[in-house]
Amino acid sequence: MQSTNQEKHALDPSRSLTPLRLARLSLFQGCLGCLAVIFAGMLNRIMISELAFPAILVGGGLAFEQLMAPSRVLFGNISDSWPIRGRRRTPYIWFGAAGFCLLAVASIPLIFITEGALRQGNWLPITTCSLALCLLFALYGLAISMATTPYLALVIDLTSEKDRPKAVGVIWCMLTIGIVVGAIAISITTKGLDGVADPTLLQPALQKFMFWVSTIVFIISIIACWGIEPKEASEKLAISKQSKGIGLKDAWSIITSSRQIAIFFSFLILYTLGLFLQDPILESYGAEVFNLPISKTTLLNAFWGSGTLLGLLLGGLWITPKVGKLATAKMGCWMIVISLALLIVSGITSSVNGLYGVLVIFGIAAGIATNSALSLMLDLTLPQVAGTFVGVWGLAQALSRALGKVFGGGLLDIGRLLSNPKDPFMAFSFVFSLEIIVMILAIIVLKKVSVQQFKQETSTSMDTILLSDLD
C-alpha cells in the first residue's frame, strides 16, 4: 500500500520537482551556504584575529546556533501536522528565513558592543554581552531550524524514492556553490578591510555588507519556494493522519528502539564532528600561520567548497553507484583523515599554494563522504513522517557541529597553553590531530552499520508507534 501511494505521488505532476523547479528550489540552499561562510568564516576570523575575542567565546557563541538542534524535530513535526492556508512547508520556510536574516543584521552591532566590553575589562559588561551574543546565535539557530527542516521535508514530499538522491545531490551542490560564491563575494567586498583592526572602521563596513546580503538572501528565499508546494485539498492526506502526534518523545523512542539506528546516529555525530572540528579555526590558521589577510583567508572556503562540489558530483554520479554507499562513505572518511594530515604538513612548509591545494583535496574527500552519508540518510527517511524524521537526523548533525564549534575553539585555546605562544602552528596542529582521531572513530562505527537491518528495524519501530497511536 505504501509503495502504491508513493508511485501515485511520483506520477502526480503537481507534486513533483521538474528540473526547473528543482533548480529554483535549490537557490534557498545556496543562500544558506552564503550565510554559513559569513558566520563560520569571515565573522569568526574577525572576532578571533582582528577583535581579539577569546576563541572559546567565539566557538561557544556559534555553537549555540547548533544547540537549537532539538527544535528540528519539533518544527518537522509541526510542519507535518499543522498546515498554514493549506501548505505544510512553505510558510515555515519563509518565517524562518525572515528570522535568520533579521538576526544576521542584528549580530554586527552586538559583536562590536561585546568587543568594547572586552576591551574595557569589566566582568559585568563582559558577562552580559557574552550572554547576549550567545542568545542571538541561539535564536539564529532556531530560525535556521524552522526554515531548513520543512525545506528538506518538502524535497522528500515532491520526489519519488528513485528521483530523491539526484534531487538531494543537486541541492547539496547548490549549498556548496553558495559557499564558494559567498566566499568570493566576501573576498571582493572586504579587500578594503585588509590590515584593518580598528572597530570604528570595521563596524560600519560590516553592517552595510550584512544588510545587503540579508536583504538579497530573503528575496531569493521567497522566490525559491514561491508556488512550488501544491495547496492541500480540504480532506487530510494519509501522511498527515499517520504523522500527527509524532513528537519529541516518540521521535526519541524511534532512535533508541533499534541498535542500528543508534549506531548510525553515533556515526553521524562522529563523522560531522570529525569533518567540522577545524571549521571555527580554519581562517585563523591561514591568518596566524600563513600571514594571510582577511580577503585571502575567506578564499580558503572557496577552495574547500570547490573541492566539495567536485566530490559531491564524483560521489553521486560515479563512485557511489559503482561501489555502494557504505564503501563510498568509508573511502571518503579515510580521504578526510589523509587530508587533515596534509593540512598539518602544509603548516610545516608554510606554503600558501600547498594550503590551497590541500583544501581542494579536503573538499573532494568531504564531498564524496557527504554524498554517501546523505544517501544513507535518505534510505532511513519514512515518507509518512518526512518532517519529523528529517529533524531527527538533522539533530545528530547539528549537535556534532555545535560540539565542533565549542571544541574547535576550546582546543585551540588549550593548544596555545600547551605550546609556545610565539609558534601558533603547534596549537592548530593539536586540533587537527585530535580531529583525525575522531574521524577514525567514525570509520570504526560505520563498519558496524547494516543497511538492510537498519531499514527493517526503522520501519518496524515506526509502525509500532503509529499503531499505538490508533489504540
Domain boundaries, the chain: 16-229+243-466
Which one-letter DSSP state was computed for residue 229?
A: S
Give the domain 16-229+243-466 fold.
Answer: Growth Hormone; Chain: A; (1.20.1250)
Among 180, 191, 189, CA closest to 208: 189
pLDDT tier at 235, thresholds 50, 70, 90: very low
Q: Which helix (H) or strand (E) holds 173?
A: helix 164-189
- Which phi and psi (to 5°) does residue 86 adopt? 85, 5
Q: Do residues 33 and 217 lie in contact, with contact meaning Cβ atoms separated by under 8 Å?
A: no
Residues 164-191 have a mean pLDDT of 78
Q: 87-91, 103-107, 191-195, 460-464 — which is least confidently predicted? A: 460-464
Burial class of residue 347, CB neighbours in 10 A (0-12, 13-18, 19+): buried
CB atoms within 10 A of CB 128: 14
304-350 pLDDT per residue, tens: 878 988 898 888 778 887 888 889 999 999 999 999 999 999 999 88
pLDDT digits (tens, 9 = 90+) for 98-110: 999 999 999 999 9
How far apart, in whole angstroms, are the C-alpha atoms of residue 194 and residue 213?
20
**Residue 10 pLDDT greater than 50, yes or no:** no
* DSSP-assigned states of every residue in 305-355: HHHHHHHHHHIIIIIHHHH-HHHHHHHHHHHHHHHHHHHHHHHHHT-HHHH
> Torsions phi, psi of 360, nearest 5?
-65, -45
Under DSSP, the state recorded for 237 is P
**Residue 237, pLDDT score:** 46
pLDDT digits (tens, 9 = 90+) for 287-312: 999 999 877 887 887 788 789 888 98
Global model pTM greater than 0.75:
no
Predicted confidence band of residue 117 (pLDDT cuts 50, 70, 90): confident
Q: What percent of the chain has pLDDT over 90?
A: 28
Determine the Cα angle at 189 with ends 184 and 191, to 5°: 95
**Residue of 86, 393, 109 lying closest to 229 (CA atoms):** 86
Residue 82 clears pLDDT 90, i.e. is over it: no
What does the block give as the cell for 411? 582546543
pLDDT at residue 201, as a whole number: 82
What's residue 283's pLDDT?
85
223 pLDDT tier (thresholds 50, 70, 90): very high
